[in-house]
């Protein structure tokens, strides 16, 4: 072969090797065992008629090919359900835009459901490190005491009226619960049993920063101490404040921030749902902390026509109370439909006069409104006796 024939071939091989070397790599960020029942509810069997395990794979790719002992794969709105035989401990993922990824993990068990997250590698080359499965905390377990930050708002100074000292307002204590950053499926996941269009597509959300969230809804006692008034239609100091607008909630956070020298704000919709699902301890329950609404929340069936004092029902896995029921909770986001694809710290800022409210309330006729994925709109200037708030405090 002469030199003229060798040069184009050499160039072609060089370009191919350069393209291959510069292609983006994937890595496995998470692999964990869960307590959800999808593998048992939607059974698939291997060639020996043994029930499979189910791996729910979060992956940004439109055309993956899975190599290994995969009995069946389904694309559920960008989350891939992979049924594999018991004992499977490796998988190869091939896509057109990324280098092939071979992952290894602990052998899976029949009828168990696992979550796996795969994303583009951020720091260049190298192979992924096998992740170890973790077992979720039971839904009845409150957050560890070390995750709870007590905050005390001191009493207002007394004033002298007619020769007597009159107390203007006593001290008010409340707790904030630390929520560690993490990744979760947002929207109508299988346990939600939902046909609500605004809960789809189901998508992975990464919360990249830790934050504190109120252990309870803001009580009337706390609101009155900060704002100097109580707008609630049904008044009781340990009940959640209600009958407020988005603007009222924003002003409350601003004044509380000024008083404490901390940054308080409303939760984003993603922060709210992540916390309602139990954050890093989530166990895929339909409601916040249980699959039975009455165990964790107040709605028309059990509320008796009004809201109730906070912390009368059991907490969710993160140690948060009343995230299902009692009063609706206003979020920072404007109400818009979800869009496909993974998200990082999402918040909808497309202006309208509609904000998101979450969690359901004492007035809701069905417990479906108390589901952790359920979302409804609220006009910014609307106020009613079933809508209050829960606050977030940013970590210094």
| CA–CA separation, 153 and 173 (whole Å) | 6
List 388's β-bridge partners, or say none. Answer: 329
User: Which has more confidence, 166 or 18?
Assistant: 166
3-state secondary structure (DSSP) of residue 41: helix
User: Which has more confidence, 59 or 69?
Assistant: 69
User: Counting beta carbons within 10 angstroms of the beta carbon of residue 85, is it exposed (0 to 12), middle (13 to 18) or buried (19 or more)?
Assistant: buried
pLDDT at 20: 39
| CA–CA separation, 69 and 71 (whole Å) | 6
DSSP 43-89: --B-TTSPBPEEEEEEE--SS-EEESS-SEEEEETTEEEEEE-TT--
Residue that is written with structure tokens 């101490």 in the block: 225
pLDDT at 124: 41
3-state secondary structure (DSSP) of residue 16: helix
pLDDT tens per residue, range 299-329:
999 999 999 999 999 999 999 999 999 999 9
3-state secondary structure (DSSP) of residue 6: helix
pLDDT at 335: 96
pLDDT at 167: 60
Under 8 Å CB-to-CB from 6, ≥6 apart: which residues?
Answer: none
Given a cut of 90, is residue 214 above it in pLDDT?
A: yes
pLDDT at 331: 98
8 Å CB contact between 28 and 117: yes
Cα-based angle 35, 280, 355 (whole degrees, multiple of 5): 110
- Out of 106-115, 239-248, 307-316, 351-360, least confident range: 106-115
Under 8 Å CB-to-CB from 355, ≥6 apart: which residues?
Answer: 246, 330, 331, 332, 333, 334, 335, 377, 378, 379, 380
Q: Are strands 211-214 and 172-179 parallel, antiparallel or unpaired?
A: antiparallel
User: Counting beta carbons within 10 angstroms of the beta carbon of residue 316, is it exposed (0 to 12), middle (13 to 18) or buried (19 or more)?
Assistant: buried
Q: Please state the pTM of the whole predicted model.
A: 0.66
Residue that is written with structure tokens 């896995």 in the block: 317
pLDDT tens per residue, range 142-194:
444 568 999 999 887 766 666 666 666 678 999 999 999 999 999 999 999 99
Q: Residue 238 has which token pair?
A: 């340990």
3-state secondary structure (DSSP) of residue 271: helix
Given a cut of 80, is residue 292 above it in pLDDT?
A: yes
Q: Residue 296 has which token pair?
A: 């964790």
């Amino acid at each position: 072969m002469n030199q003229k024939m060798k040069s184009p071939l050499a160039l072609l091989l060089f370009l191919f090797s350069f393209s291959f070397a510069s292609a983006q790599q994937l890595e496995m960020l998470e692999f964990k065992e869960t307590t959800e029942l999808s593998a048992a509810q939607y059974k698939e069997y291997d060639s020996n008629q043994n029930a499979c395990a189910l791996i729910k794979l979060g992956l940004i790719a439109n055309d993956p090919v899975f190599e290994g002992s995969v009995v069946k794969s389904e694309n559920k709105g960008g989350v891939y359900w992979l049924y594999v035989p018991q004992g499977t401990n490796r998988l190869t993922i091939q896509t057109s835009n990324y280098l092939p990824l071979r992952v290894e993990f602990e052998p899976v068990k029949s009828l168990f459901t696992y979550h796996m997250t795969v994303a583009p590698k951020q720091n260049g080359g190298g192979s992924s490190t096998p992740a170890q499965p973790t077992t979720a905390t039971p839904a009845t377990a409150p957050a560890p005491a070390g995750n709870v930050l007590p905050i005390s708002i001191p009493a207002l100074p007394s004033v002298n009226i007619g020769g007597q000292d009159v107390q203007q307002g006593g001290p008010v204590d409340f707790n904030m619960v630390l929520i560690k950053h993490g990744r979760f499926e947002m929207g109508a996941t299988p346990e939600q049993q939902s046909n609500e269009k605004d809960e789809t597509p189901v998508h992975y959300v990464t919360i990249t920063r830790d934050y504190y969230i109120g252990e309870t809804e803001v009580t009337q006692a706390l609101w009155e101490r900060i704002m100097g008034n109580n707008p609630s239609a049904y008044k009781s100091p340990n009940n959640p404040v209600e009958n407020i607008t988005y603007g009222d909630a924003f002003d409350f956070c601003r004044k509380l921030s000024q008083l404490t020298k901390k940054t308080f704000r409303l939760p984003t919709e993603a922060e709210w749902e992540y916390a309602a699902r139990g954050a890093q301890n989530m166990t895929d329950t339909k409601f916040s902390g249980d699959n039975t609404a009455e165990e964790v929340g107040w709605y028309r069936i059990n509320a008796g026509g009004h809201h109730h004092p906070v912390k009368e029902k059991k907490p969710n896995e993160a140690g948060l109370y009343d995230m299902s029921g009692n009063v609706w909770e206003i979020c920072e986001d404007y109400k818009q439909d979800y869009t496909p694809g993974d998200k990082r710290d999402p918040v909808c800022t497309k202006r309208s006069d509609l904000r998101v409210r979450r969690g359901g309330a004492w007035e809701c006729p069905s417990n479906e409104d108390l589901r952790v994925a359920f979302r409804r709109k609220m006009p910014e200037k609307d106020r009613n006796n079933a809508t209050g708030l829960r606050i977030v405090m940013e970590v210094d």
